[in-house]
Chain A
Amino acid sequence: MQIFHYSGRTHVDSVPNAPAVQMNGLMVRYDKSQGDVLSNISLELAAGSRVALIGHNGAGKSTLLKTLVGLQAYQQGEVRIYGRPVRACHHRVAYLPQRGEIDWRFPIDLRAFVMTGRYVHMGWLRRASGEDVALVERTMAQLQLDHVATRLISDLSGGQQQRALLARAIVQEAQLLLLDEPYNNIDPETRLLIGDIVKSLQDEGRTTIIATHDLSRLHDEYEYVVALKHGRVQYCVPVAQFHLKKEEGADGTTLAMVD
């Protein structure tokens, strides 16, 4: 029922055989007086691929993800998501923000929080259906969150909050998942769990782009590596061609280089 949708732009068909993401000469700047945050980004990422987006803090990773989901306007270039313009279809793209973007002190329990991932399908006025509830329960169990389902989100540990964000992104049933630093400040167990789950999303044909500093399982978990440097694409290569040469960067993060 169209009238309930938050915008007219949901459940729009994708262009057959189109790549998940196609960017051509993308340029983003926040302010005319400042330099470009992203410049001349041209990329094509096939549907169903797992992509690591790496680079130093400030290289433009978050901005790139925000541009893809339509939170950040761009000044030049062209962006296509499954062959359609950005925000052409809200339910096709899920976005996992950095943890600090959410007010975790808000009085809502985990179950209700994860359910907000289904809102794009419900739209105005409608409540969760039995199927929505079942999907939320299943996803929480998959992420080992079922035992804290009634806990307030403020009482969750950092790793649990991160899994809660992932659960919410998953129940959105989007084709393209954009995850901004899902591995920051979490325990090693959660790190592995999230890695496995993200990997399993590919089996369902989904595309994932993960902005991360964590290069520990790069060859296991990804197919492509996109490296950004100063707002430009430094490399975009299949992970097999990518060899790590670890160096300590000036800001303490690990530099990754292609030989």
Chain B
Amino acid sequence: MAQLWQWLIEPFRYQFMQTGLLAAVLIAITAGIIGSYVVLRRLAFIGDALAHTALPGVVVAYLNGWSLFGGALAAGVLTALGIGWMARKSTIREDTAIGVIFTAMFAFGIVLMSSMQSFRDLSHILFGNILGVQRNELWLISAVAGVVILVLSVFHKEFELTSFDAIHAEVIGINADRLRSVLLVLLAFTIVTGIQVVGVILTSALLVTPAAAASLLTRNLKSMMAVAATIGAISAFMGLLISFHWGVSSGAVIVLLCTGFFALAVGVQRLQQRGHA
């Protein structure tokens, strides 16, 4: 027992582990909450696109000595607004347009990256580096989490309504397109912080997997958000511990733990259905 306690507590004697843990848990909670909309509104592909298009933003910022976070955020928000605009104006199917544009942006980011001397710093962008989070960045992450959760809770009933019946929302005077754009911008904020934890490539898992697991266990949006946030937070905490003790990539472990919860949820749901039958 004392040994287990030691295993759980010891890593957090280090300040970088404390900071990393706080950051990872905050981000996972935010991702679980907004991820519920990603799952229910079928935005997973857009989420993936937003994560990938952050890459050129980061690289350009790096080359110019700007803030990497700012670069990623600018690219993410631009993409979010661009997707919203395209969905309204374009005659090309939305998923096709997203597919074309985000792979191009990602490729552009890779080209820029490979033209530089060292990949070292930017590999963190691809795979995440939660332990590299600085104390001052923690403020930024808290601010993002705070804003996302605040906006989603203040306008909960409108976001919920436009998610299953945009037409009724329009009829009663809610601009569903504008709400969708707001949601995509919040998503971009969340994703840019998520990149810190699990990297560009795995960020959409942080959004989708906990929420997908939660959707199997809950009957309404609020509880789905709560369960998804919990799954994300536990995965982030355990992932960091496992990564510390066994020396493996924390981002990948966090994602795999989320996947484990998803498998568990599938099992629980099967049992419940059998119970009813």
Contacts and interface: CB of A to CB of B under 8 A. Distances in A.
B196 interface: no
B173 A9 contact: yes
B40 A116 contact: no
A36 interface: no
Interface of B: 40, 154-155, 157-158, 160-161, 163-165, 167-168, 170-174, 215, 218-221, 224
Contact of A102 (B164, B173, B219, B220): B164
Interface residues of A, number: 33
6 contacts: A71-B170, A93-B171, A97-B167, A108-B160, A108-B221, A119-B157
A71 B170 CA distance: 7
A7 interface: yes
B165 A102 contact: yes
B160 A6 contact: no
B173 A107 contact: no
A106 B163 contact: yes
A107 B224 contact: yes
A107 B161 contact: no
Given A108-B160, A119-B157, A124-B155, A101 B171 contact: no
A189 interface: no
A107 B168 contact: no
Contact of A152 (B157, B160, B219, B224): B219
Contacts of B174: 6, 119
Contacts, number: 72
Given A108-B220, A124-B155, A124-B158, A103 B164 contact: yes
A123 B273 CA distance: 39
Most B CB atoms within 10 A — which of A10, A102, A108?
Answer: A108
Contact of A107 (B158, B170, B221): B221
Interface string A1-45: 000011101100000000000000000000000000000000000
A250 interface: no
A195 interface: no
Query: Which 8 pairs, one residue from A and one from B, show the smallest C-beta to C-beta distance?
Result: A106-B164, A7-B173, A6-B173, A120-B172, A90-B173, A103-B164, A102-B165, A6-B174
Nearest to B163: A106
A103 B164 CA distance: 5
B146 to A, nearest CB: 18
Nearest to A168: B168
B164 A5 contact: no
B221 A125 contact: no
A83 interface: no
Contacts of A224: none
A9 B175 CA distance: 13
